[in-house]
Chain A
Amino acid sequence: MKIRYIKSWIVAWMFLPMLTHAAEPQWSLVADKSYITFTATQNDAPVSGTFKKFTGTFHVNFNDLPNSSMHVVVDIASLSTSYEQIQTTLLSPDWFDVAKYPTAQFKSTKFSKVGENSYAVTGVLTIRDKSEPVKLTFTAEVKPPNNGVFVGQTMIKRSVFGVGQGEWASVDTVKDDVTIKFKVVATKP
C-alpha cells in the first residue's frame, strides 16, 4: 500500500512538468493556404502587400487560453506587392531593411476570449530593431476534428517600428496607420 502510494507520487511528479509547461497541442500551419497582408495609405489611396512565407508555433487550446501561446516568424524577403517598384522600395534600408532585419516576429503574451469564436491575443511584435506590444483580434473556426481557420487583423503605426526612415518618416504622403490582416489555416495532429 505504501509502496504503491510512493510510486504514484513519483509518476505524478514525472508528469507534472508537462502540465505546468502547458504542452498544449500544437497546430501546424498549412503554409499555402495561410497569408499575412498589409494595407497602407499612400496619396489617400490604399496600397497592399503580402508576406508569402511565415512560420510559427501555435500551442493554442481554446479551452485553456491561459496556457496557450504562439510565436510567428515572418520572412521579410517573401514580401510581394502588385508593383515591383513598391516591393524593392519596401525591402530597401529606409523601410524594412531586409538585409539587416530578415525577419519580423510576433510572440504572444496573453490570449483572451472576446466573443463567441472570437479572441484577442496580446503580444510583442518585432519589426526591424523595434519591439512593441500589439493586440490581434481574430475569429476561430475549428472544424472537427482538427482543422482550424483563424482570420484576424490588427492596426499598427509604422513610425513606431521605424518602417520609413529619412524623408519617408513623414506620415504625410504615406500615412502612419497600417492594417495587417492574416488568415492562418492549421491542422492538429
Chain B
Amino acid sequence: MRLKNDATHFGLIAILLHWIIAVLIIGLLCVGLYMVELPISPSKLKIYGIHKATGLLVLALVVVRLCWRVINTTPKLAMPLWEVVIARIVHWAFYVLMLAMPITGWLLTSSAGLAPSFYGLFTVPTLIAPNENLRPLFANMHQWIAFALIATILLHVAAALKHHFYDKDEILKRMIS
C-alpha cells in the first residue's frame, strides 16, 4: 500500500489519519456528553483531564491532516456533480468543526484558569487570562459545535453507507484499503 494519495486512491497516511481522528472524536463526543452531567468528584476531574489532553491531541492531528491534504492529491469523486459538491462541503465543514472544537475547548479551560496537562507530560499554556464573563460563551460554543459535529458525522456516515450498499461503489472501500 502506498503512503501518498493518487488520483483514485487514498494512501496509508490519509487512511490512518482519517480513522484515528474518527475514533478519537467519537470517543471525545461521548465522554464529553457524559462528563458534563457528573457531580464534582476526583473521577470527574480525571475524566476532564483526559478529555482536554485528547482534544489537544486531535487538534495536533487535524493540523497534520490539513497540511497533508493541502500538499497531497485528493482522489477524485466519481459521482454526479451535486453529490461531489455536497461531499466537498461536508469534508470542509469537518475541517472547520475539527479545528473549532478543540480551540473552543482550549479557550474554555483557559477562561476557567485551568491550564491542561498533556497526559502528565507537560502543561499546555492557556490561550487567554481567566475570564468568568467569557467562560459561559466558550462553553456554549463548545456545546453547539459538538452538536454540529455530531450532525455532520451522521450525514457523512449515512452518505458512506449509501454509496456502499445502495450505489455499490468504491467510496467506502477506498478509505479502508
A8 to B46, CA, bound (A): 73
Name the distance in Å between B21's Cβ and chain A's nearest Cβ: 23
| Interface flag for A165 (CB, 8 Å) | no
Pairwise interchain contact A167-B45, C-beta atoms closer than 8 A: no
The answer to whether B49 touches A45 (Cβ under 8 A) is yes
Judging by beta carbons under 8 Å apart, are B42 and A45 in contact? no
Chain B residues positioned under 8 Å from A86 (CB to CB):
112
Q: Which residues of A contact B130 (CB under 8 A)?
A: 82-83
Please choose the segment from B67-75, B87-95, B116-124 that sits at the chain A interface, where 4 or more of its residues have CB less than 8 A away. Answer: B116-124
Residues of B92-134 contacting chain A, CB below 8 A: 112-117, 120, 123-124, 130, 132
Q: Which interface residue of A46, A48, A82, A168 has the most chain B CB atoms within 10 A?
A: A82
Question: Once the chains bind, are B42 and A47 in contact (CB under 8 Å)?
Answer: no
| Interface pair A45/B113, CB less than 8 Å apart | no
Across-interface contacts of B124 in A (CB, < 8 A)? 45
Q: Which A residues lie within 8 Å of B40 (CB)?
A: 85, 89
Q: Which residue of A81, A82, A83, A173 is within 8 Å of B45 (Cβ)?
A: A173
Q: Does A84 contact B (CB under 8 A)?
A: yes
A55 to B123, CA, bound (A): 34
Q: Say which size band chain B's interface belongs to.
A: 20 to 34
Any chain B CB within 8 A of the CB of A174? yes
Chain B's nearest CB lies how many Å from the CB of A112? 35
A86 to B135, CA, bound (A): 14
How far apart sit A167 and B43, CA to CA, in the bound complex (Å)? 9
Shortest beta-carbon distance from A16 to chain B in Å: 54
- State which residues 12-59 of B face A: CB under 8 Å: 40-43, 45-46, 48-49, 52
C-alpha gap A84/B58 in the complex (Å): 28
Contact flag A83-B113 (CB < 8 Å), given A44-B120, A46-B123, A89-B40: yes
Contact B123 A45 (CB under 8 A): yes
A57 within 8 A of B: no
B135, A83: Cβ atoms closer than 8 Å: yes
Shortest CB distance B161–A (Å) = 38
Among A44, A47, A85, A168, the most chain B Cβ lie within 10 Å of the Cβ of A44
Residues of A141-189 at the interface with B, using a CB-CB cut-off of 8 Å, are 167-168, 170, 172-174
Knowing that A44-B117, A167-B41, A173-B49 are A-B contacts, what are 13 other residue pairs whose CB atoms are under 8 Å apart, sorted by A's residue number? A43-B45, A43-B48, A44-B123, A45-B115, A45-B123, A45-B124, A46-B115, A46-B123, A47-B113, A82-B130, A82-B132, A83-B114, A86-B112
Q: Interface residues, chain A, CB within 8 Å of chain B?
A: 42-48, 81-86, 89, 167-168, 170, 172-174
